[in-house]
Structure 1
Amino acid sequence: MNCKVTEKIFEVMNMLLEEQKKPREYGGQLLYHSEVVFLDVVHRFPELNVSEMSSLLRITKGAVTQFSVKLSNKELLEIYTKTGNKKEKYFRLTTAGEEVRKEHLSFHENTNRSLCNYLKTLGADETKTIFNFLNHLKDCVPFCEFDCMCSSGNEKGGENENEPNIVEDKQFICNA
């Protein structure tokens, strides 16, 4: 069972990574996760200029400019300057940009509700076990995908001398 848990952890992690790479349709347009995040930041922090957006998002000023131009071309974002300072660029969402943001929030609200409904069915001991496990998992970061070695012999892995040594055989799949 332990190996199945390990496999499931990496399956979920890989699904999350892949999900963020795929564009999703919002308001009739395909948008990547990073583009929707950019729109959300513009909504939440409308007073930020390019440099401040760069710092907040931890991306280059050039990347902020690329995102803003791309989203402006899709008519989801307006780029503007303030009176008296034509150098600093600022952003605001268009009506279509606001709709994309609302649709994205609704999508997450629905998926989060499903998770919350499941968690509500768990008892205090089950919840505590999950919480402790997640804390331990967090403490192990970064880690790499590996062939499970926690078996009692009924699953792959274990301490059978015929089984491969993952360190020697380099059977790791690292995304770190």
Structure 2
Amino acid sequence: MNKMKKKVLVDAIKDELETFRSHDVDEQILGRIKNADLKSEMITDKLNINDLHILQIIGTATNIRISDIANHVPLTQGAVSKIINKLSDDSLILKKHRPTNKKDTYVELTDNGLKINDIHNHYHQKMDQQLIEFTDEFSKDDLKVIDEFLKKINLIRNID
């Protein structure tokens, strides 16, 4: 099978799995974070997957504004603002203003925010590698069927 076409299919399946998993709190990631050497265990008891995704966005960006974060997640600007305030209160992020622009608020990770984000990213890297190894057993046609199946599962889960 053409490696590029297979990679596209594997990426599509990964996206569907992420959508599927995002409906449930990922206990493995949160469990690893709770076991981490952080300054406050109380912080980790309050985290959820949306918090981790916001930390991940902040961790991969430079000079990111709060208003920009909502463009990267399936959350409203209001929900993002609430999460940002919570993460700031828990000392996982710092909110800053530029001397020349007091209107926009920029955010960056603190040391604890970096640790949590590193654990989260490491988990995803490990899962991505395992998925690649796992999908080597399947043909392109098999992967297409799996992708379509997961899309239908996600449609069922999204019914109001």
Q: Same fold (TM over 0.5)?
A: yes
* Aligned 1:6-85 pairs, distance under 5 A: 16-17=21-22, 19-20=24-25, 24-25=30-31, 26=33, 27=36, 28=41, 29-30=44-45, 31-85=47-101
Residues 119 and 76 of structure 1: is their aligned pair in 2 closer, same or farther, counting only changes over 3 Å?
same
8 Å Cα contact 1:54/1:64 also seen in 2: yes
* Aligned 1:88-107 pairs, distance under 5 A: 88-107=104-123
TM-superposition CA deviations, 1:91-137 (whole Å, max 9, x none): 000111111111111122223333333233x2xxx422322213543
Tell which structure's C-alpha radius of gyration is larger. 1
What is the TM-score when the length of structure 1 is the normalising length? 0.61
Consecutive unaligned residues of structure 1, counting only runs of 5 or more, are: 1-11, 145-173
Q: Give 1:21 deviation, angstroms.
A: 6.5
Q: Give 1:139 deviation, angstroms.
A: 6.9
What is the TM-score when the length of structure 2 is the normalising length? 0.66
Residues 83 and 58 of structure 1: is their aligned pair in 2 closer, same or farther, counting only changes over 3 Å?
farther
Instruction: State the superposition RMSD in angstroms.
Output: 3.1
8 Å Cα contact 1:81/1:88 also seen in 2: yes
Say which structure, 1 or 2, has more relative contact order (CA 8 Å, 6+ apart): 2
How far apart, in 1, do the equivalents of 2:65 and 2:155 lie? Answer: 37
How far apart, in 2, do the equivalents of 1:37 and 1:13 lie? Answer: 12
TM-superposition CA deviations, 1:16-58 (whole Å, max 9, x none): 3553365814144132111010011112223222222223334
How far apart, in 2, do the equivalents of 1:112 and 1:135 lie? Answer: 16
8 Å Cα contact 1:46/1:90 also seen in 2: no
Identity across the alignment (%): 17
Consecutive unaligned residues of structure 2, counting only runs of 5 or more, are: 1-16
Opposite residue 106 of structure 1, the aligned amino acid is H
